[in-house]
Amino acid sequence: DTALLKNKFRGTMLGVLIGDCLGSPYEGLEKLSRLKKTVLQRKHDKLWETKFREPVMTYTDDSAMTRALAESLIEKRDLDIVDVAQRFAKSYYENPDRGYGAGTITILKQWKEHVDETNVKIPAKNLFDGLGSYGNGGAMKIAPVPLFAYNNYDKLLHYVKEVTKITHTHELGINGAILQAIAIQQSLHLNPSEELNVSNFVDNLISKMDKIGDDSSQLYKERLSIVKNLVSEEGDDPNEERVVQELGNSIRALESVPTAIFCFLRAQRRIRRIRTDNPLRRAIQYAITLGGDTDTIASMAGAIAGAFYGYEKFSIQLLSHCEEWELFREIGDKMLDLAMSQINK
């Protein structure tokens, strides 16, 4: 069904953008107090439901790098990591104040003068005493890859690794990007008018991480079992303290990708003090209440939720408050054309 797929591709790109724009004012804060949750609720009521004139909410590195990766895929009609690196560096120098991670900045600066096949992979390898970064920067920008390879799991794995390694070579950083990409791919294939089978969703992720079979994928598997336990808890008040303690809310991939998946899954049903019938909004708003790396966790949860529910769950009022939202929607459309041309090849 092309109409549904078009919706889902748009929803994925816009989920990245909206989660990032809404989450970034809270980045680095503690999990929100009850009072702050009420303030957040009112602010989001206004943003999602009313039209008003206000400076547009700007996006951060998460959306900037996602956009650059998508535009490279669309232009080159395949993954060309040198072109991707050039675009990452270009968009960094156009606006260096989007909150990039320190390690990523080091890489972008080394690419400034010239990038080619011989030096594209070197800066990432040298980071953190040669261990490479385990930050969530690989996962935060991966959404275009599950769109590109939406029907092909092996291709997804291969492309995620190829593109992630130019910035994140630590196994935890790469597997975090793989997990986020698989979660988006799974969402793209599900029918949003049917109730989501939450435990199937997690079990599929667990078995795919299991097949990867290295040490760090085991750590992700453990986190995913925690996700499953937390999601199955009854009541409408998921204890944020425990969620943060057991899953994390940090800039590390291991402490944020499973958390984002949890936010998406838990938002299938009511959450106390988040008053909305819209589960996509609930996922993003809940991610923000956890504090920590809010732009990235809300953006990753937004991408998974957007891939599941599609474009229609975003209100036009909200979209119109976000920088370049029309461009992100258009990128979704172009990614769909590209993905289709790949399948028919």
**Are 144 and 66 in contact, with CB atoms under 8 Å apart?**
yes
Cα–Cα distance measured from residue 66 to residue 61, given in angstroms and rounded to the nearest whole number: 8
Cα–Cα distance measured from residue 280 to residue 284, given in angstroms and rounded to the nearest whole number: 7
- By a kind-dependent CB cut-off of 5 to 8 A, residue 8 interacts, out of Mg ion, ligand R7I, none, with none
Residues that bind Mg ion (CB under 5 A): 60-62, 99, 293, 295-296
* 99 vs 273 by CB, closer to Mg ion: 99
Site residues for ligand R7I, 108-137, by CB under 6 A, read 128, 131, 133-137
Q: Does 165 bind ligand R7I (CB under 6 A)?
A: no
- CA 330 vs. chain centroid, Å, equals 18
- The least CB distance from residue 172 to ligand R7I, in Å, is 8
Sign of the dihedral through C-alpha 67, 68, 69, 74: positive
- The least CB distance from residue 202 to ligand R7I, in Å, is 24
* 250 vs 317 by CB, closer to Mg ion: 250
Cα–Cα distance measured from residue 43 to residue 80, given in angstroms and rounded to the nearest whole number: 41
Q: In sequence order, what DSSP letters do the residues of 87-132 get, joined into one string?
A: HHHHHHHH-TTS---HHHHHHHHHTSS---TTTSSHHHHHHHHHT-
- By a kind-dependent CB cut-off of 5 to 8 A, residue 137 interacts, out of Mg ion, ligand R7I, none, with ligand R7I
- The least CB distance from residue 124 to ligand R7I, in Å, is 8
Cα–Cα distance measured from residue 159 to residue 181, given in angstroms and rounded to the nearest whole number: 10
Residues 295-314: x/- map of binding to ligand R7I (CB under 6 A)? xx------------------
Site residues for ligand R7I, 225-284, by CB under 6 A, read 251
Residues that bind ligand R7I (CB under 6 A): 60-62, 99, 101-104, 128, 131, 133-137, 140, 170, 251, 293, 295-296
